[in-house]
Amino acid sequence: MPDLFVDLRSDTVTRPTAGMREAMATAEVGDDVYGEDPSVNALEAEVAALFGHEAALFAPSGSMANQIALQLLVSPGDELLCDADAHVVTYEIGAAAAYGGISSRTWPAVGADIDPEVVAGMIRPDGYFAVPTRAIAVEQTHNRGGGGVIPLATLRDLRGVADEAGIALHCDGARIWHAHVADRVPLIEYGRLFDTLSVCLSKGLGAPVGSLVVGSAEKIERARLIRKRMGGGMRQAGILAAAGRYALAQHIDRLADDHAKAARLAEAVAPFGVLATTVRTNLVALDLTKHTLDARALAAAARAEGVLISVLGPRTARLVTHLGVSDADIDRALTALPRILAAP
Ligand X SMILES: Cc1ncc(COP(=O)(O)O)c(C=O)c1O
* Type of residue found at 53: H
Strand 6-7 and strand 307-308: the pairing is parallel
Q: Given the rule CB under 6 A, which residues bind ligand X? A: 12, 61-63, 66, 87, 139, 143, 172, 174, 200, 202, 211
User: With respect to ligand X, which residue has the nearer C-beta, 61 or 236?
Assistant: 61
User: With respect to ligand X, which residue has the nearer C-beta, 143 or 282?
Assistant: 143
Taking the complex as a whole, how short is the minimal distance between the CB of residue 112 and ligand X, in angstroms?
Answer: 12
User: With respect to ligand X, which residue has the nearer C-beta, 36 or 113?
Assistant: 113
Residue number closest to ligand X, CB atom: 62
Taking the complex as a whole, how short is the minimal distance between the CB of residue 91 and ligand X, in angstroms?
Answer: 7
Backbone angles phi, psi at 103, to 5 degrees: -90, 130
* Type of residue found at 146: G
Q: Considering only CA atoms, which of 154, 145, 181 is closest in space to residue 279?
A: 145
**Cα 248 to Cα 199: distance, rounded to the nearest angstrom:** 11
Angle at which helix 62-73 crosses helix 217-229, to 10 degrees, equals 120
User: With respect to ligand X, which residue has the nearer C-beta, 94 or 344?
Assistant: 94
Taking the complex as a whole, how short is the minimal distance between the CB of residue 58 and ligand X, in angstroms?
Answer: 12
User: With respect to ligand X, which residue has the nearer C-beta, 37 or 139?
Assistant: 139
Taking the complex as a whole, how short is the minimal distance between the CB of residue 46 and ligand X, in angstroms?
Answer: 19
Taking the complex as a whole, how short is the minimal distance between the CB of residue 338 and ligand X, in angstroms?
Answer: 27
